[in-house]
């Protein structure tokens, strides 16, 4: 890989905490976080979830190394407390009534305002940040990139089961749960940071949200850093999946930024079709058809993924990512989504505990295929995390 990489990358990962014996969700995040660095490992809405914030790196291999190292610290620290760690959109063994919201003013208010939505927020996602020139560029790229986001959801799909173990029939049940919040969905339909800020101010003034931190669009400009944030992905059991998503997203941002500079028009796709394509990705993952948004027609997921990768080749090569992204994509398309792997292992013995064990093993590092990286990366310049 190139030593200088490309636009800087950072990742936020959310992890479920499970009882190492029963494999059920446990509300022990405060206890675990007391033993971890507070600027990297942070609380989330639910006390059964911990968020981990990577460093910021221009090189994809260094990002992957950092994610691997941070996971190892989390897994080892949790194990000493009898806690297991799972990166997935959802886990199949939990009792929502036994869960609890983190005791901060912000999260208590969210519970009071949103009720069922907050109580059933037993889901975890992966967010990828990519460096941009400024917030105006972030807003414009967000709209241009929106038609391609269903591919990222399909690659990350890892939540086929609901809390009681029911197979939902979807590859990403998390996406369905997440979409119920009032400020989720496609990127804001604006063309400048000023327009975006006015829209957010209106949402706050309406009383529907309490602040900018509660804007959860599929793509959003950070309100703290000069980044564009991808928010559609499930949490990923394999670090390799995150590397694949991050590398592709960076290349997509770079392609659309170059098109902006050159005055080339974006792909014109109806927001309604993009929403339908996102639903299809949540339903099928990599195991069925995705929507070809240019043709408004179904096509095998492998073809849609491969077409996107080929279209991004110049920008992947420029960042030094083409070889590793090609390798990771080939393995991913051969093995299928995490959702498919979970269903396969359940069919062997019919035990949901086997599903959780698979996810915990993959989270801890079993099954990763990218052998070109090893050991923690360099010192991060700073940490990005969602407020």
Report DSSP letters for 213-226, one per residue. GG-EESEEE-SSSS
Closest CA to 345 of 241, 239, 237: 237
Across 153-173, b (16+ Cβ under 10 Å) vs e yields bbbbbbbbbbbeeeebebbbb
Low-confidence ranges of the chain (pLDDT < 70): 1-5, 366-387
Cα-trace Rg, the chain: 19
Structural domains of the chain in order of their starting residue, each with its CATH number: 9-364 (3.30.590.20)
The span from the CA of 198 to the CA of 194, in Å, is: 6
The span from the CA of 73 to the CA of 27, in Å, is: 19
Across 260-276, b (16+ Cβ under 10 Å) vs e yields beeeeeeeebeeeebbe
Q: Are 73 and 365 in contact (CB under 8 A)?
A: no
User: Hey, which residues does 43 pair with through a beta bridge?
Assistant: 50
The span from the CA of 129 to the CA of 313, in Å, is: 20
- Residue 383 has a pLDDT of 33
**CA torsion angle 103 105 107 112 (round to 10):** 110
**CA torsion angle 342 345 350 356 (round to 10):** -50
The span from the CA of 203 to the CA of 186, in Å, is: 16
- Residue 95 has a pLDDT of 81
The span from the CA of 281 to the CA of 16, in Å, is: 23
Residue 296's region, left for phi above 0, alpha for psi from -120 to 50, else beta, is left
The span from the CA of 121 to the CA of 163, in Å, is: 10
Mapped onto helix, strand or coil, the DSSP state of residue 124 is coil
SS3 letters for 62-115?
HHHHHHHHHHHHHHHHHHCCCEEEECCCCCCCCCHHHCCECCCHHHHHHHHHHC
Residue 303 contacts by C-beta under 8 Å, 6 or more apart in sequence? none
The span from the CA of 67 to the CA of 13, in Å, is: 9
Other beta carbons within 10 Å of 331:
16
Q: Are 266 and 187 in contact (CB under 8 A)?
A: no
């Amino acid at each position: 890989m190139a030593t200088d990489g490309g636009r800087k990358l950072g990742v936020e990962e959310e992890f479920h905490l499970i009882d190492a014996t029963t494999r059920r969700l446990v509300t022990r995040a405060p206890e675990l976080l007391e033993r971890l660095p507070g600027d990297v490992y942070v609380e989330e809405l639910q006390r059964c979830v911990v968020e981990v914030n990577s460093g910021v790196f221009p090189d994809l291999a260094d990002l992957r190394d950092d994610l691997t190292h941070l996971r190892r610290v989390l897994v080892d620290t949790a194990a000493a407390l009898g806690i297991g760690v799972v990166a997935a959109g959802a886990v199949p063994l939990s009792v929502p009534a036994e869960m609890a919201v983190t005791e901060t003013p912000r999260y208590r208010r969210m519970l009071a305002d949103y009720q069922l939505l907050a109580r059933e927020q037993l889901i975890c996602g992966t967010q990828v940040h990519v460096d941009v020139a400024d917030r105006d560029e972030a807003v414009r790229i967000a709209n241009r990139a929106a038609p391609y986001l269903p591919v990222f959801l399909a690659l990350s799909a890892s939540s086929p089961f609901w809390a009681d173990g029911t197979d939902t029939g979807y590859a990403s049940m998390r996406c369905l749960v997440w979409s119920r919040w009032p400020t989720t969905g496609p990127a804001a339909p604006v063309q400048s940071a000023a327009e975006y800020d006015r829209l957010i101010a209106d949402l706050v003034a309406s009383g529907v949200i309490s602040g900018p931190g509660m804007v959860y669009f599929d793509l959003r400009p950070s309100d703290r850093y000069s980044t564009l944030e991808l928010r559609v992905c499930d949490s990923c059991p394999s670090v390799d999946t995150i590397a694949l998503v991050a590398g592709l997203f960076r290349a997509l941002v770079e392609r659309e930024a170059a098109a902006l500079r050159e005055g080339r028009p974006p792909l014109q796709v109806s927001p309604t079709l993009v929403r339908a394509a996102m639903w299809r990705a949540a339903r099928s993952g990599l195991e069925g058809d995705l929507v070809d948004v240019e043709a408004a027609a179904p096509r095998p997921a492998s073809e849609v993924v491969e077409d996107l990768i080929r279209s991004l080749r110049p920008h992947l090569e420029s960042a030094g990512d083409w070889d590793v992204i090609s390798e990771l994509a080939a393995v991913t398309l051969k093995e299928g989504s995490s959702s498919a792997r979970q269903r396969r292992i359940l069919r062997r013995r019919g035990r949901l505990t086997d599903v959780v064990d698979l996810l915990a093993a993959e989270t801890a590092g079993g099954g990763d295929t990218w052998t070109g990286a090893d050991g923690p990366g360099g010192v991060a310049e700073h940490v990005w995390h969602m407020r």
